């Protein structure tokens, strides 16, 4: 490397000794001892914590990466299963390492806990030091100003007092102190940019607050999903049993949910001609916890849509999914009828092709054997805008209801609902089909209003199509805190990074009728960019009246 470093000589550690803390002229012995201790403490802090923090930050970045590159259980279990199928040897190994649940793994927790400790251990002492240092006078002028990274000197025509007066004016806004040295030498020490440290501390303290808020939300929060038909059906947040799926925080057992009720009246979706969705919304009514306590029976109206959840109490209700629910009426030969509407699940979200199983029990049948022979399941595929795919199967060409058709496979026999095992509402029990206890008795493609007749004379009618919505209920007591700390964090960051802590020293002594002036400058923290300001101020002091423009050069940069 042939070129000598052009960067200003840096003190070995930002907050430790060296040029950074020029020794004051005549410190007492106690001061010196304290100085030495402070030096040791600073060095320890600088060398250990800063580097540790750096290493931990790297580890954190590295540890988070698999969370993006490997499928995660918390996001998509089926992708994880797929990964197991594709990589039968690697996947179990990764699994024992927790690679499919990175953000719940112990090693991830270990890293961020260490970082938290390091952060607290670093920031609290600094906050104290900051508090003490906030009122300290700027440090004394170093003996040899020519050794500083920024330096200038020259003669001025004014006498010392006049020059000092002008310096005071120019350095208004800087924290200053004037001192005298032997031989009629006067010095000015000025410092500016204390806000940098303030911003830095606000940033790091906010970070601690943010992480606590985040963790708190994870511990005391919950999230649940529930499908509700958009036909005036209701859902109440009273117990986790009401949910289709529920993810509880560590300290949530599901017994103390915030009560509130929601009634979904209507769902609307609109699409562009190419089938891309353009708007979704659900009209609903709700009763907040207070309403329920007060025994109110009316519903407060609201409309929720993507980006516009319902917020009530500490809970939020989101519209996160929707689909169709075909409506059927079954008329048995004896004239009894039953109507049914249940959600079918979309198999293709872009066209809303759906599949499902609407299940019926024949009314009035009490004999257990007969019951298990006469249960019906209307299974099949539903297309809101029917079309045929290349293999001649029913497909959907458009997600809106332009030409709804349901391709039915009617099954009769034992659905297995009495076995006490829960079963999917979207499918029939395959075991019953395999064992022959559930048999297909008719197939038909129906448009709304059309019917099909089974072998025993039962008539199945496709009445029409309703819709359902998926509501996601979220409760996160830490979220507001996270927001508040995130805002103060950015503020602190912006302040800290836009302000430079910098020092400016002047030493002046009378010479003839004028004065001889030496000026030095040092940027305490990162460095880059003080040169211009220094040059400007120095030029104004040394060459008043001259309109010197050297703002672009770093001409005063001292070579190391």
Partner 1 sequence: MLVDPIMSLWSDRLFQGAVVVYLIALLVHAAEYVVGRSPSLRAAAPVAAGAGSASGSGSVAVATPPEGVTVGPVGDDSATSDESVRGRRSRADRYGRMAVSLTVLGVLVHLASMVARGLAVSRWPLGNMYEFTSALCLLALVSWLVALRRIPTIRTVGVFVLAPVLILMFLAGTVLYAQAAPVVPALQSYWLIIHVTTITLGSGLLLVPGVASVLFLMRRSGRPARLVARLPSADVLDRIAYRVTVVGFPIYTFAVICGAIWAEAAWGRFWGWDPKETVAFVAWVIYAAYLHARATAGWRTTRAAWINAAGFATILFNLFFINMVVAGLHSYAGL
CB of 130 to ligand HEM, least distance (A): 11
Determine if 157 is a binding residue for partner 1 (CB under 8 A). Answer: no
- Contact region for ligand HEM (CB under 6 A) — 115-123, 175-183, 333-341, 391-399? 115-123
Q: Which of 525, 530, 535, 541 binds ligand HEM (CB under 6 A)?
A: 525
Determine if 50 is a binding residue for ligand HEM (CB under 6 A). Answer: yes
- Contact region for ligand HEM (CB under 6 A) — 160-168, 202-210, 249-257, 441-449? 202-210
Q: How many residues bind ligand HEM (CB under 6 A)?
A: 19
The listed partner (ligand HEM, partner 1, none) that binds 426, CB under 5 to 8 Å by sort, is none
CB of 8 to ligand HEM, least distance (A): 15
285-314 residues near partner 1, rule: CB under 8 A: 305-309
C-alpha distances out from residue 334 to 262, 364, 365, 452, Å: 39, 11, 12, 16
Distance between CA 208 and CA 198 in Å, rounded?
15
Residues in the chain: 560
Q: Which of 9, 41, 53, 387 binds partner 1 (CB under 8 A)?
A: 53
The backbone torsions φ and ψ at residue 290, rounded to the nearest 5 degrees and listed phi first, read -65, -40
The residue (of 1 and 369) whose beta carbon lies closer to partner 1 is 1
206-225 residues near ligand HEM, rule: CB under 6 A: 207
C-alpha distances out from residue 122 to 13, 135, 176, 491, Å: 15, 21, 29, 20
Determine if 204 is a binding residue for ligand HEM (CB under 6 A). Answer: yes
Residue 53 has which token pair?
């923090």
Determine if 472 is a binding residue for partner 1 (CB under 8 A). Answer: yes
The listed partner (ligand HEM, partner 1, none) that binds 527, CB under 5 to 8 Å by sort, is partner 1
The listed partner (ligand HEM, partner 1, none) that binds 119, CB under 5 to 8 Å by sort, is ligand HEM
Residue 414 has which token pair?
């034992």
13-32 residues near ligand HEM, rule: CB under 6 A: 14
Determine if 358 is a binding residue for ligand HEM (CB under 6 A). Answer: no
Determine if 109 is a binding residue for partner 1 (CB under 8 A). Answer: no
Q: Which of 16, 118, 352, 375 binds ligand HEM (CB under 6 A)?
A: 118
Residue 460 has which token pair?
């199945």
Q: Which long-range contacts (CB under 8 A, 24 or more apart) does 282-287 make?
A: 282/230, 282/319, 282/322, 282/469, 284/310, 286/260, 286/261, 286/262, 286/310, 286/312, 286/317, 287/260, 287/261
Plot region of 246 (φ>0 → left; ψ -120 to 50 → alpha; else → beta) = beta
The backbone torsions φ and ψ at residue 371, rounded to the nearest 5 degrees and listed phi first, read -55, -45
The residue (of 497 and 509) whose beta carbon lies closer to ligand HEM is 497
CB of 206 to ligand HEM, least distance (A): 10
CB of 126 to ligand HEM, least distance (A): 7
The residue (of 111 and 376) whose beta carbon lies closer to partner 1 is 111
Under 8 Å between Cβ of 109 and 117: no
Determine if 115 is a binding residue for ligand HEM (CB under 6 A). Answer: yes
CB of 121 to ligand HEM, least distance (A): 7
CB of 133 to partner 1, least distance (A): 17
Under 8 Å between Cβ of 372 and 413: yes
Determine if 528 is a binding residue for partner 1 (CB under 8 A). Answer: yes
Distance between CA 402 and CA 399 in Å, rounded?
8
HEC string of 308-332? ECEEECCEEEEEEEEEEEEEEEEEC
Sheet holding 514-523, edge to edge: 150-156, 514-523, 502-511, 185-192, 175-181
Nearest CA among 499, 503, 500 for reference residue 139: 503
Neighbours of 189 (CB within 10 A): 22
CB of 64 to partner 1, least distance (A): 5
DSSP secondary structure string for all residues of 243-263? -SEEEE-TT--SSSPPP-EEE
- Contact region for partner 1 (CB under 8 A) — 160-168, 258-266, 401-409, 492-500? 492-500
DSSP secondary structure string for all residues of 347-373? EETTTTEEEEEEEE--TT---HHHHHH
CB of 500 to ligand HEM, least distance (A): 10
Q: Which of 293, 393, 456, 526 binds ligand HEM (CB under 6 A)?
A: 526
- Contact region for ligand HEM (CB under 6 A) — 74-82, 112-120, 217-225, 356-364? 112-120
CB of 8 to partner 1, least distance (A): 10
Determine if 203 is a binding residue for ligand HEM (CB under 6 A). Answer: yes
Distance between CA 49 and CA 125 in Å, rounded?
12
Determine if 10 is a binding residue for partner 1 (CB under 8 A). Answer: yes
Determine if 113 is a binding residue for partner 1 (CB under 8 A). Answer: no
Residue 61 has which token pair?
């970045």
The residue (of 203 and 286) whose beta carbon lies closer to ligand HEM is 203
- The contact set with ligand HEM (CB under 6 A) reads 14, 49-50, 53, 57, 115, 118-119, 122, 199-200, 203-204, 207, 493, 496-497, 525-526
């Amino acid at each position: 490397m042939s070129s000598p470093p052009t960067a200003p000589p840096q003190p070995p550690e930002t907050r430790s000794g060296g040029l950074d803390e020029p020794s004051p002229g005549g410190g007492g012995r106690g001061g010196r001892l304290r100085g030495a201790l402070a030096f040791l403490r600073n060095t320890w802090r600088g060398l250990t914590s800063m580097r540790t923090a750096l290493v931990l930050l790297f580890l954190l970045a590295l540890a988070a990466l698999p969370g993006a590159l490997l499928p995660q259980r918390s996001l998509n279990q089926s992708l994880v299963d797929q990964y197991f199928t594709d990589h039968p040897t690697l996947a179990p190994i990764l699994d024992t390492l927790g690679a499919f649940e990175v953000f719940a793994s112990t090693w991830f927790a270990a890293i961020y806990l260490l970082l938290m400790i390091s952060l607290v251990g670093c920031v609290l002492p600094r906050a104290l030091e900051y508090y003490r240092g906030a009122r300290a006078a700027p440090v004394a002028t170093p003996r040899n100003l020519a050794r500083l990274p920024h330096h200038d000197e020259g003669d001025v025509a004014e006498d010392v007092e006049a020059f000092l007066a002008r310096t005071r004016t120019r350095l208004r806004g800087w924290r200053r102190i004037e001192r005298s040295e032997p031989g009629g030498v006067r010095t000015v020490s000025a410092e500016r940019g204390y806000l940098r440290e303030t911003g830095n501390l606000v940033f790091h303290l906010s970070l601690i607050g943010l992480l606590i808020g985040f963790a708190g939300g994870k511990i005391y929060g919950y999230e649940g999903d529930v499908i509700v038909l958009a036909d005036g059906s209701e859902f109440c947040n009273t117990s986790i049993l009401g949910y289709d799926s529920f993810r509880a925080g560590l300290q949530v057992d599901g017994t103390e949910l915030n009560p509130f009720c929601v009634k979904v009246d209507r769902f609307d979706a609109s699409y562009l001609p190419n089938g891309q969705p353009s708007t979704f919304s659900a009209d609903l009514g709700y009763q907040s916890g207070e309403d329920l306590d007060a025994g109110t029976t009316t519903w407060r109206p609201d409309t929720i849509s993507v980006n516009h959840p319902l917020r009530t109490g500490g809970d939020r209700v989101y519209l996160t999914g929707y689909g169709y629910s075909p409506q059927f009426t079954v008329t048995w030969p004896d004239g009894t009828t039953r109507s049914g509407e249940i959600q079918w699940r979309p198999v293709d979200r872009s066209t809303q092709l759906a599949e499902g199983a609407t299940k019926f029990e024949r009314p009035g049948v009490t004999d257990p054997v007969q019951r298990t022979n006469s249960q019906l399941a209307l299974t099949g595929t539903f297309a809101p805008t029917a079309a045929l795919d290349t293999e001649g199967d029913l497909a959907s060409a458009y997600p809106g209801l332009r030409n709804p058709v349901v391709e039915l496979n009617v099954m009769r026999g034992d659905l297995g609902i009495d076995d006490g095992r829960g079963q999917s509402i979207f499918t029939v029990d395959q075991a019953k089909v395999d064992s022959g206890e559930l048999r297909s008795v008719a197939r038909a493609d129906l448009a709304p209003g059309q019917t099909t007749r089974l072998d025993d004379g039962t008539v199945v009618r496709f009445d029409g199509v309703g819709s359902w919505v998926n509501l996601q209920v979220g409760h996160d007591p830490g979220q507001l805190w996270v927001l508040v700390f995130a805002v103060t964090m950015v503020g602190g960051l912006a302040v800290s990074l836009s302000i430079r802590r910098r020092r400016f020293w002047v030493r002046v002594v009378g010479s003839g009728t004028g004065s001889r002036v030496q000026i030095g400058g040092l940027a305490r923290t990162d460095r880059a960019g003080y040169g211009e300001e220094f040059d400007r101020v120095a030029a104004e002091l040394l060459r008043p009246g001259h309109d010197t423009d050297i703002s672009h050069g770093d001409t005063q940069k001292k070579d190391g």
